[in-house]
Amino acid sequence: MIKKTNITILFLIFIQLSFGQEISTFNDSISANFNEIKIETGKHKHLWGKDLYGPILLVNPDTRQIAANFSDSTGILKQNGNIYYGILPAEINMANTAVNWDGRRWAMIMLPLPVNKQDRINLLAHELFHVSQPLLGFQLFNAENNHLDQKNGRIYLRLELEALKKALQTDNKIERKMHLTHALTFRKYRYLLCSGADISENLLELNEGIAEYTGSVVSGRDKKQSLEHFVKSISSFLSNPTFVRSFAYQTTPVYGYLLDDTKKGWNREITIKTNLTDYFIKASDIKIPNNLRKITALLLNQYNGKAIISEEEARENKTKKLIAEYKRKFITQPHFELVFEKMNVSFDPRNIIPIEDKGTVYPNIRVTDKWGILTVENGALMSAKWDKILVTSPLKIENQIITGAGWILTLNDGYSVIKDEVTGNYKLTKK
C-alpha cells in the first residue's frame, strides 16, 4: 500500500513537472515570437516612416485563450513573465485581423503560427500594418469583387497571375518587363469586360494588398526566397474555391516586389486616392496596347489560356446549379432572417459564393450582435447591403438556444424568435 502511494505521489509530481515544463516552453515560444517580430519591424522603420510593432493578441481557436505582448486596462489579462494571458470574451470574433478591444487596437492572429520564420513574420507584420493603417492615412476598405466569381473575371485574373509568375521566374529584364506588360494588359481587359471592377479591386488592393506587401518586405526573405514564396503562393491561391476577397494578397505584393528593383520606397507615394493599376503601369514604364480584345486573344496561348478558359466554362456550369440551390434554400423556401443592429463578423474569405444581386453565401461565418451570437458551419446568406443575414428555418428552439441545419444561435436576454404565419419565415423580436 505504501509502495502504491509513493508511486502515485511520484507520478503526480512527474505530471506537475511535465505540465510546468510545457507552460515554460510555451511561454518561451510565445516570447520568442513577439521578440522576432519586434526586431524585424524595428529593422524596417523606413518602410512607412514608423515602427509597426504594437499590441498583439495570439488566440487559441479551440480554447479562446489569448497571449498578448501588452497589458489591458480592465485586468482581463494576467501577467506571467513578459506575457499577458486571458480568455477572449465571447462577443469578440476570432480571426486574423485588427480589432479594437479594451482601449487598444490589436493585431489578432490565430494559433498555431506558421512554422517557417519568414511566413510567421509576414503574417504578423500584415496584421500589424492594419493596426497602424488609420494612422498612415489608409481607410480599411473591404469591397466586394463578385465579378471574380464569374467566368470572365476569373479567366483574366488567372491569366494575369500566370503572366506574373513568368515575370518572377526570369532574370532577363526585357522578358520580365514583357510578362509584366502582359499581366497588366490582361488586367485592363478584365476591367473592360467587368463594369466597376477597376474601382472595387483597387479598394481591396489598397487594404489587403498593401498590408500583404508590407508583410512580405518585413518577412526578411532574400531574393531567392521571395521569388519562391510568390510563385508558390500564387499556385496555392489558384486552388481556392473563390477569388472574390483574397486576390489582392497575390497581386499587389508581386507588383510591389518587382517595382522595388527600380523604385525603392514607392509605397510611401501611395494614398487612399491612388489608382494602383495606373500607378504600377506608369512607375514601371509600361505601355498598354489600345486594342485590348485583339491583343489578349493573341497572348492567351503563352499563358495556358485554352486550358484556363475550358476549366472556367466547366466551373460556371457547376456554379449555376449551386446558386440555384442556394436561392431555393435561403430565399424561395421559408428561412430565418436576422436583421443587424450592431454586428461584428468573422469568416473565411476563400470560399464565399456571390448570389447575383441577392448577396453572398458564407459557408462558415460567426456573427455577434446585440441579439446574441450566431455560428454557421453550413452556409448563410449575407444580404448585399450587409444589413441582415439569412439561415435555414430553426429545427429546435430551447430557451435562448436556437439550432438549425448547420447553425446555432445563442440569444441574449430580451430577444425571442417568432414565425410569420403568412410567409412561413422566422425573425427576431424584442420582448
Residue pLDDT, tens place only, 52-75: 999 999 999 999 999 999 999 888
- For 10-140, strand residue ranges (E) read 56-59, 65-68, 78-80, 83-87, 97-101, 104-110
Distance CA 189, CA 292 (A): 6
Q: How much of the chain is helix, strand and coil, in % rounded to 5?
A: 50, 20, 30
> How many residues appear in the chain?
431
By CB atoms closer than 10 A (0-12, 13-18, 19+), residue 241 is: middle
- Averaged over 86-103, what is the pLDDT? 93
- Averaged over 204-221, what is the pLDDT? 97
Cell of 431: 420582448
Query: Which is it for strands 359-362 and 380-383: parallel, antiparallel or unpaired?
Result: antiparallel
The strand order across the sheet containing 78-80 reads 78-80, 83-87, 65-68, 56-59, 104-110, 97-101
Query: Residue 12 has what pLDDT?
Result: 46
Distance CA 98, CA 105 (A): 7
Neighbours of 169 (CB within 10 A): 13
Cα-Cα-Cα-Cα dihedral sign, residues 398, 399, 401, 403: positive
Distance CA 392, CA 426 (A): 9
- Averaged over 72-98, what is the pLDDT? 94
Distance CA 422, CA 425 (A): 8
Distance CA 201, CA 252 (A): 11
Distance CA 334, CA 328 (A): 9
Distance CA 69, CA 71 (A): 7
- Averaged over 220-238, what is the pLDDT? 97
Question: For residue 32, what pLDDT band results from cuts at 50, 70 and 90?
Answer: very high
Does the pLDDT at position 15 exceed 80?
no
Of 21 and 163, the one with more pLDDT: 163
Query: Residue 350 has what pLDDT?
Result: 83
Query: Which is it for strands 65-68 and 78-80: parallel, antiparallel or unpaired?
Result: unpaired
- Averaged over 71-80, what is the pLDDT? 92
Does the pLDDT at position 39 exceed 70?
yes
Query: Residue 25 has what pLDDT?
Result: 55
List helix spans (H) across 194-222: 197-204, 210-218
Distance CA 238, CA 154 (A): 10
Distance CA 216, CA 250 (A): 11
DSSP string, 43-79: HTHHHHTS-----EEEE-TTT-EEEESS--SSS-SEE
Query: Residue 431 has what pLDDT?
Result: 81
Cα-Cα-Cα-Cα dihedral sign, residues 197, 238, 244, 97: negative
Query: Residue 10 has what pLDDT?
Result: 47
> At residue 390, what are phi and psi to the nearest 5 degrees?
-120, 135
The type of residue at 201 is: E
Q: What rounded mean pLDDT belongs to the chain? A: 92
Question: For residue 24, what pLDDT band results from cuts at 50, 70 and 90?
Answer: low
Give the alpha-carbon dihedral of 278, 281, 287, 293, to 10 degrees: -60
Question: For residue 388, what pLDDT band results from cuts at 50, 70 and 90?
Answer: very high
